[in-house]
Chains A and B, each alone.
Chain A
Amino acid sequence: MSLDPGPNISMPNPLIKIRPPKGWAALRLGDLVEFRDLLVALAGRDIKLRYKQTLLGVAWVVLQPLLAAGIFTFVFGVIAGMKSTGPSYFAFSFAGLLGWTAFSSTLSKASASMVGNAHLVSKVYFPRLVLPLSTLGSTLLDFAVSLLVMALLLVVYRTVPSAAVLLLPLWLGAILCLALGLGLAAAALTVSYRDVQYILPVIIPFLMYASPVAYEVTAAPEHVRFVLYLNPMTALLEGLRWSLLGGNPAGMVPPTAGWLVYSLAFALLFLAAGAIVFKRMERRFADVI
């Protein structure tokens, strides 16, 4: 007579396994999908909070880029007499600023996102990548509104964009990848070293002058252009502007395929590197922040 061992009791797979960190962390993008509602909620919070207690409210979304382009037109177009292709210097710099603002606002918001939400990081679990990613919401909204203003400008200047306008998402996507990659690394570094918060406001304007926002590459002497194109933002901004204003008979030229590939590769590389740095440092956030 033998004892019936009974049904085999098997341990169900745990939903969550917590283990000490080892080596390089996996990106676990699946977690981001699970927390997509949080991503949306945080992006919504940032958008709602932006223009609270302002007199002009949402009008700032339109006014900011217009004012900036106006100042550029006055300083570079009128005083410095800079030449530009396209319908007018104002439309030219507005298009440049459109791309540049997407870059700089992604970089500065993403880099501040960890420290700015320190209380969340130390009290609640969620994939930390949600915080920098959620900053994209308000940046994209700004971009969309500016794009509408741009469309109005095109109407005003009687410019019909060519089919190149369909490439717009490519330029924007690459610019965001580049900025987010840098922003992720900066956000992770800021957790331990607050210096980053002070360096960035100095570096960002510098980068702007190193990128063709107020000028176009062809305005530079031939032998300098190579150096300008080393900056991955150069080809992307030129491409963006060509997409928007290239329909003008005055015509501007898109960046060469070589520089385009270079910049796109750079953008993806930055994004991957930033994400890896972020994940690598992520585990210490709650203890250090």
Chain B
Amino acid sequence: MSLSDIAISVRGLGKAYTIRHAATRAPTTLAEAMLERIRHPLGRTQEREEFWALRDVSFDVKRGEVVGVIGRNGAGKSTLLKVLSRITEPTTGEVDLYGRVGSLLEVGTGFHQELTGRENIFLNGAILGMTRAEIRREFDAIVDFSGVEKFLDTPVKRYSSGMYVRLAFAVAAHLRSEILIVDEVLAVGDAEFQGKCLGKMKEVAGLGRTVFLVSHRLDFVIDLCSKGFLVRDGQLAFLGPARESVIRYTETATLVPADAPSVDSYRRRRRSVGVVDIVAVDIDGSGVPTSVQVLIHIDVHCATAEIVCLLSVISTTGVTAFSVSSMDYGPPLSMSRGRHTIRIGIPTESLLPDSYVMDVRIAPNTSALAWDALEQYPMITVYPHSRTPRTWFDRPGRLVVGGVQWAMEPDS
């Protein structure tokens, strides 16, 4: 490879974060920091531990290559992107970038709710590093791509979420930098728009620009990328043909339960009905590798409640993989006043690789109106595994493998 073809050159890149132990919390106020200084006037004041999010990463990317970065959550993908896009500085190593860099770690960074679509195009473009002249030149193309021309002078707070995302992506898609760094942003909008984004990314790549992108959608990586970049525990595990990197990845990864955020932001109703409340949800994937346990912790506020629990598992594209109801398996769950836990074992071996969320409804036996319900609560990410059919990567868009039996025998 001729040296002048290189777009990105990375040598011995490392990024360490300091984590403090829970007992010695970081000072978050000036007073605490000063007190800490007074107590320990000399240097190191606390027990620290270094965590290397990236360690000794070296690689070259040629001009015009589209590199798909894959790896499990926490493997260091986002840190790598942040260092390459100069948001955070490396601890060790060197990075040389041969060209202007545009980075897109989030769709619509800097969009302001109160500003109109037109104003936001200029603001967001400037934030992404475009000059005013460049934005003006691309303005019509941006508006055209987003399909919101009728609402250009409406504040974006009145936009539907779909329009908002389309406009935001449209601005980013018209970045004219030689190197484009993209985090998981293709997974936005509806299926049609995703296809459009994918097409745009292909077009960008076709123009000889270098793209470095992170995606959980392995089918995208195979479809779009010339190279795959597999990150494992902060290190470069493999860099080579996209398909091969995906296959290597699938040999090691399985599924990861979401880290149970507070239920409050996923609750559908505003006020407690005062009969049954969901207080927390846990996802336990520690048992058998082919299933997860969903634990729904509820508070019953009345003497006894006859409860029906419904649970739907939904993919990133919004398709329900399956729904289960406690009614399918027996009479309503009868519960007395106090804290209870409903435990649901969900088989995951039939789920194809994707991130899944769930809708949970706790309803009375007698009525369809729910006492409490959660929507889009993070559940699990299923990574490709050895049981994932290889052909799936060529024909994405389905959800469940299922235990289909195939047999062919002659009728004699």
Residue ranges of A at the interface with B (Cβ–Cβ < 8 Å): 9-12, 14-21, 35, 37-38, 40-42, 44-45, 48-49, 52-53, 119-126, 189, 192-196, 283, 286-287
Nearest B-chain residue to A196, judged by Cβ = B30
Given A11-B4, A194-B28, A283-B89, answer yes or no on A17-B95 (Cβ-Cβ < 8 Å): yes
* CB of B366 to closest CB in A, whole Å: 46
Given A12-B4, A40-B132, answer yes or no on A18-B31 (Cβ-Cβ < 8 Å): no
A124 near B110 (CB under 8 angstroms)?
Answer: yes
Identify which of B121-129, B146-154, B202-210, B402-410 touches chain A: B121-129
Given A9-B3, A11-B4, A195-B31, answer yes or no on A20-B96 (Cβ-Cβ < 8 Å): no
Given A120-B127, A124-B127, A193-B28, answer yes or no on A45-B115 (Cβ-Cβ < 8 Å): yes
Listed by A's residue number, 27 A-B pairs whose Cβ atoms lie within 8 Å are A9-B2, A11-B3, A14-B96, A14-B98, A15-B97, A16-B96, A16-B101, A18-B90, A19-B90, A20-B89, A20-B91, A38-B127, A38-B129, A41-B122, A41-B123, A45-B115, A45-B123, A48-B115, A119-B109, A124-B103, A124-B105, A125-B85, A192-B33, A193-B29, A194-B28, A194-B29, A283-B88
B87 near A122 (CB under 8 angstroms)?
Answer: yes
Please give, as numbers and ranges, the residues of chain B lying within 8 Å of A45 by CB-CB distance: 112, 115, 119, 123
Tell me the bound Cα distance from A14 to B6 in angstroms. 10
Other-chain contact of A14, B86, B97, B129 (Cβ < 8 Å): B97
The tally of residues in B whose CB lies under 8 Å from a CB in A reads 50
* CB of A48 to closest CB in B, whole Å: 6
Tell me the bound Cα distance from A45 to B105 in angstroms. 22
Given A12-B98, A15-B99, A287-B17, answer yes or no on A195-B29 (Cβ-Cβ < 8 Å): yes
B128 near A124 (CB under 8 angstroms)?
Answer: yes
In the complex, B58 has a CB within 8 A of chain A: no
Other-chain contact of B106, A10, A15, A123, A125 (Cβ < 8 Å): A123
Tell me the bound Cα distance from A253 to B206 in angstroms. 70
Within 8 A of A (CB), among B308-345: none
Tell me the bound Cα distance from A44 to B84 in angstroms. 29
B109 near A123 (CB under 8 angstroms)?
Answer: yes
Given contacts A16-B101, A18-B89, A41-B132, list 6 more A-B pairs with CB under 8 A: A15-B100, A16-B95, A16-B97, A17-B95, A193-B30, A283-B89
Other-chain contact of B94, A11, A18, A53, A193 (Cβ < 8 Å): A18
Please give, as numbers and ranges, the residues of chain B lying within 8 Å of A192 by CB-CB distance: 28, 33
Nearest B-chain residue to A288, judged by Cβ = B26
As a 0/1 sequence over residues 27 to 69 of chain B, the CB contacts with chain A under 8 angstroms (1 = contact) are 1111101000000000000000000000000000000000000
A16 near B30 (CB under 8 angstroms)?
Answer: no
In the complex, B92 has a CB within 8 A of chain A: yes
In the complex, B114 has a CB within 8 A of chain A: yes
A195 near B30 (CB under 8 angstroms)?
Answer: yes
In the complex, B82 has a CB within 8 A of chain A: yes
Given A12-B98, A49-B115, answer yes or no on A286-B127 (Cβ-Cβ < 8 Å): no
In the complex, B83 has a CB within 8 A of chain A: yes
Nearest A-chain residue to B85, judged by Cβ = A125
Please give, as numbers and ranges, the residues of chain A lying within 8 Å of B84 by CB-CB distance: 18
Please give, as numbers and ranges, the residues of chain A lying within 8 Å of B106 by CB-CB distance: 123
A126 near B127 (CB under 8 angstroms)?
Answer: yes
A20 near B31 (CB under 8 angstroms)?
Answer: no
Tell me the bound Cα distance from A215 to B92 in angstroms. 56
Tell me the bound Cα distance from A35 to B84 in angstroms. 19
In the complex, B161 has a CB within 8 A of chain A: no
A119 near B110 (CB under 8 angstroms)?
Answer: yes
* CB of A245 to closest CB in B, whole Å: 39
Please give, as numbers and ranges, the residues of chain A lying within 8 Å of B9 by CB-CB distance: 14
Tell me the bound Cα distance from A15 to B6 in angstroms. 12
Nearest A-chain residue to B91, judged by Cβ = A20
Please give, as numbers and ranges, the residues of chain B lying within 8 Å of A286 by CB-CB distance: 82, 87-88
In the complex, B93 has a CB within 8 A of chain A: yes
* CB of A77 to closest CB in B, whole Å: 39
In the complex, B386 has a CB within 8 A of chain A: no
A120 near B90 (CB under 8 angstroms)?
Answer: no
Please give, as numbers and ranges, the residues of chain B lying within 8 Å of A48 by CB-CB distance: 114-115, 119
Nearest A-chain residue to B120, judged by Cβ = A45
* CB of A279 to closest CB in B, whole Å: 12
* CB of A244 to closest CB in B, whole Å: 35
In the complex, B131 has a CB within 8 A of chain A: yes
Please give, as numbers and ranges, the residues of chain A lying within 8 Å of B127 by CB-CB distance: 38, 41, 120, 124, 126
Other-chain contact of B87, A11, A49, A123, A189 (Cβ < 8 Å): A123
Please give, as numbers and ranges, the residues of chain B lying within 8 Å of A9 by CB-CB distance: 2-4
Given A20-B93, A195-B31, answer yes or no on A38-B109 (Cβ-Cβ < 8 Å): no
A19 near B112 (CB under 8 angstroms)?
Answer: no
Please give, as numbers and ranges, the residues of chain A lying within 8 Å of B29 by CB-CB distance: 193-195
Please give, as numbers and ranges, the residues of chain B lying within 8 Å of A196 by CB-CB distance: 30
A49 near B94 (CB under 8 angstroms)?
Answer: no
Residue with the highest number of chain B CB atoms closer than 10 Å, among A35, A123, A194? A123
Tell me the bound Cα distance from A11 to B3 in angstroms. 6
Tell me the bound Cα distance from A125 to B126 in angstroms. 11
Given A38-B126, A48-B119, answer yes or no on A15-B98 (Cβ-Cβ < 8 Å): yes
Nearest A-chain residue to B133, judged by Cβ = A37
Please give, as numbers and ranges, the residues of chain A lying within 8 Å of B128 by CB-CB distance: 124
* CB of A195 to closest CB in B, whole Å: 4
* CB of B102 to closest CB in A, whole Å: 10
Given A9-B4, A37-B126, A45-B123, answer yes or no on A18-B97 (Cβ-Cβ < 8 Å): yes
* CB of B181 to closest CB in A, whole Å: 10
A16 near B28 (CB under 8 angstroms)?
Answer: no
Tell me the bound Cα distance from A10 to B2 in angstroms. 9
Tell me the bound Cα distance from A9 to B5 in angstroms. 11
Nearest B-chain residue to A190, judged by Cβ = B30
Please give, as numbers and ranges, the residues of chain B lying within 8 Å of A21 by CB-CB distance: 89
B126 near A41 (CB under 8 angstroms)?
Answer: yes
**The 5 nearest A-B residue pairs measured at CB:** A41-B126, A14-B96, A18-B95, A125-B86, A16-B97
Tell me the bound Cα distance from A17 to B88 in angstroms. 13
